Amino acid sequence: MKVSSPKTHMEASNEKIFNMMSDCRRFGEVVPDQIQNGEAGDDYFKFSFQGLVTMTLRVAEKQEFSKIVYSAENSQNIPAFITVDINGNDQASEVTVSADIEVPVFLSGMVKKPLQNFADMVVEKLKIAAEK
């Protein structure tokens, strides 16, 4: 199942957004309020999501100034990825956050709305942090 935030305009360069989101220690600035027990290291961000699942994000792929893919290791051993797509220049950018998780069909109804909210909140909080 894949969900994506709306494409969001940000008054920040693609380089600034890329550098912010490439730094796992800064990921805590953009996660929704439902995130609990956030812990950041040089190469990971670990958190609990609404008490349902514990995830550890690690950067799996980077395309300089345009894309960051996080691999999400989780307590349920369900493959998951969070992707930040950045299309911009040194003045402004358009950003989309996508979450892709392999859940059984019978769980998709329960997972889709929280996952969509997660992607939407990450892009909203990223906009606030990037435009400071």
Q: For residue 27, is it within any domain?
A: no
Domain extent for 109: 2-21+60-130
Distance CA 82, CA 98 (A): 6
What would the mean pLDDT of 87-102 be, rounded to a whole number? 96
Count of structural domains within the chain: 1
Q: For residue 34, is it within any domain?
A: no
Q: For residue 41, is it within any domain?
A: no
pLDDT tens-digit readout, 2-44: 999 999 999 999 999 999 999 998 888 898 887 888 899 988 9
Distance CA 31, CA 27 (A): 7
Q: For residue 100, is it within any domain?
A: yes
H or E element, residue 14: helix 14-22
Residue 51 has pLDDT above 70, yes or no: no
Q: What percentage of the chain reaches a pLDDT higher than 70?
A: 98
Please tell me the predicted confidence (pLDDT) of residue 98.
98
Q: For residue 92, is it within any domain?
A: yes
Distance CA 44, CA 26 (A): 10
Say which residues have a Cβ less than 8 Å from residue 107's Cβ, sequence separation at least 6. Answer: none
* 25 phi, psi to nearest 5 deg: -65, -20
Question: Within 13 Å, how many C-alpha atoms sit on residue 37's CB side?
Answer: 11
**Would you tell me how many other CB atoms lie within 10 Å of the CB of residue 50?**
12
Q: For residue 89, is it within any domain?
A: yes
What would the mean pLDDT of 87-104 be, rounded to a whole number? 95
Q: For residue 102, is it within any domain?
A: yes
Q: For residue 14, is it within any domain?
A: yes
